[in-house]
Homo-oligomer: A and B are copies of this chain.
Amino acid sequence: MSDVRTRTSKLRVEAVSVSIDGFVAGPGQDREHPLGVGGPALFGWFFPTRTWQAMHGQPDQGETGVDDDAAARGFENIGAWILGRNMFGPIRGPWPDDDWKGWWGDEPPYHVPVFVLTHHARAPLEMKGGTVFHFVTGGMRAALARAREAAGGRDVRVGGGASTIRQFVRAGLVDELRLTISPVLLGRGEPLFQGLDLPALGYECIAHVPGKRAVAHVTLRRRD
């Protein structure tokens, strides 16, 4: 209890992989390319980690160390998530039916309520393992209010994609961003920094840790 009262619930962006040229996903996202064409190369550091392996049914496999620390930290003390519509799936416009249930199979790796930003209403979707997808049509602040309430004092994580992250950052709502700069060029795709004047929004780089596979884990924090 004291933990909940002394600590403010934060809005966090975690483990976002960025190419050297500033993209967080490749172009041409569709059902076969959830990260866009070329996008998976951004996650070369993430797939071997114990955290990712455990998320995919291999709990005792995978590497520990600095990269796994960055992956695992993203799930610590998270009570709810917010996702953009395109991160939930490749369908655009009205939902044709209720068939699409996310990229992640029957048991998504969230295990808490997940609020999906969309212009098109849809009934909540309860999945195995504690994940419930709620579809929010009232915009960014409505989603955040519901996520904070659901999180019960724990933090809320903005999962992506790029435009959703930019929207929350531009509104000054994100407290911390943890990025992993990957040794990859994408050339096209979803840019993270475009149109964001991060210092003017109060952000500074407070930590920088080299990872194992030629990546750099950086932490940006907004000054209070």
Knowing A20-B218, A21-B22, A210-B210, the reply to whether A197 touches B187 (Cβ < 8 A) is yes
Q: In the bound complex, what is the Cα–Cα distance between A220 and B149 (angstroms)?
A: 46
**Which of A183, A184, A203, A215 has the most chain B CB within a 10 Å cutoff?**
A183
Do A183 and B21 touch across chains, with their CB atoms under 8 A apart? no
* A136 in the interface (beta carbon within 8 A): no
Contact A21 B196 (CB under 8 A): yes
CB-CB under 8 A for A193 and B22, given A181-B181, A183-B218, A216-B210:
yes
The contact of A204 among B22, B185, B193, B210, by CB within 8 Å, is B185
What 9 additional pairs, Cβ within 8 angstroms, besides A21-B22, A187-B196, A187-B197? A20-B179, A20-B193, A20-B205, A20-B220, A183-B208, A183-B218, A185-B220, A187-B201, A208-B214
